[in-house]
Amino acid sequence: MLKCIIVDDEEMAIKVIANHAAQVKELTIAGTYNNAVAAFAVLQQQAIDLVFLDIQMPQMTGLTLIRSLSKPPHIILTTAHRTFALESYDLNVIDYLLKPVSFERFMQATGKVLQLEKVQHEAAPISGSPPAITGEAPFIYIKSERQFIKVLLDEILYIESIKNHIRIITLKEVLITLLPISDMEEKLPPQRFVRIHRSYIAAVSKIAKFTHTTVTIGKSELPLGESYKTEVLKRLGQHLI
């Protein structure tokens, strides 16, 4: 279950999101708030997994609330304004829903959160396992949550594109950064990584199984795009016996 709160200064907007959430068994609403100041106090005291957050509110905007949090939970913005979309994705929000929010778009957004939680759970290191010895292992720095995080290339499982940002799934964590997947592909060594789909890059050494339509890494089955199939099968076919 994901513990959620709804923050909006419009009572009807709160009711719409609450009604949608009531139909999703994985979500539980821990509270609703009509201003960001009250929500800030709650987020300092409780462990909240997901916030449905309006942008334009008195006293404090939703974007200001996000910036005020040292470690924000998952954020899905709900707003009547398109103009804040680019700025919001720089804050690593999961999705940007325009009012009135349909149930279909609500499910698309919450589905991203549920998938992210699933991946983080599956990729979590086994308790008690020894720490990795990094030595001179190659690495990159990823900008996520307003800081630059060191990521060892050997720990990357795969990379997924979501609109204009990407998710980097590693052995230890899932990072979200504002970067086109094509730019990320250019920064990765081609001998270690392969583009398998317009939305996915896979670490070659982490591919456990593959077919002509899918690639499996851990418990995640990823699509193999038609336009990438020839190169991927050529790369993987080098290891066939």
Q: What is the pLDDT of residues 30-42, one digit of tens each?
A: 999 999 999 999 9
Q: Which residues contact 84 (CB under 8 A, 6 or more apart)?
A: 55, 63, 77, 96
Which tokens belong to 122? 């599956």
Same-fold call for 2-123 versus 139-237:
no
Q: How far apart are CA 217 and CA 227, in angstroms?
A: 20
Number of Cβ atoms within 10 Å of the Cβ of 9? 15
**Could you give the dihedral angle defined by the CA atoms of residues 185, 229, 157 and 105, in that order, rounded to the nearest 10 degrees?**
80
Q: In this structure, which topology does domain 2-123 adopt according to CATH?
A: Rossmann fold (3.40.50)
pTM of the model: 0.56
Residue 78's pLDDT is 94
Query: What is the CATH code for 139-237?
Result: 2.40.50.1020
Report the length, in residues, of the chain: 241
**Which residues in the chain show pLDDT less than 70?**
86-90, 119-136, 145, 241
Is the bond into 72 cis (omega within 30 degrees of 0)?
Answer: no
Closest CA to 202 of 192, 213, 212, 187: 192
What pLDDT, in 10s, does the model give residues 2-31? 999 999 999 999 999 999 999 999 999 999
Check residue 121 and give its pLDDT.
Answer: 56
- What are the extents of the domains in the chain? 2-123, 139-237
**pLDDT at site 99:** 93
Token pair listed for 23? 């139909």
Alpha carbons 99 and 82: distance in angstroms, whole number: 10
Q: Do the beta carbons of residue 105 and residue 97 sit within 8 Å? A: yes
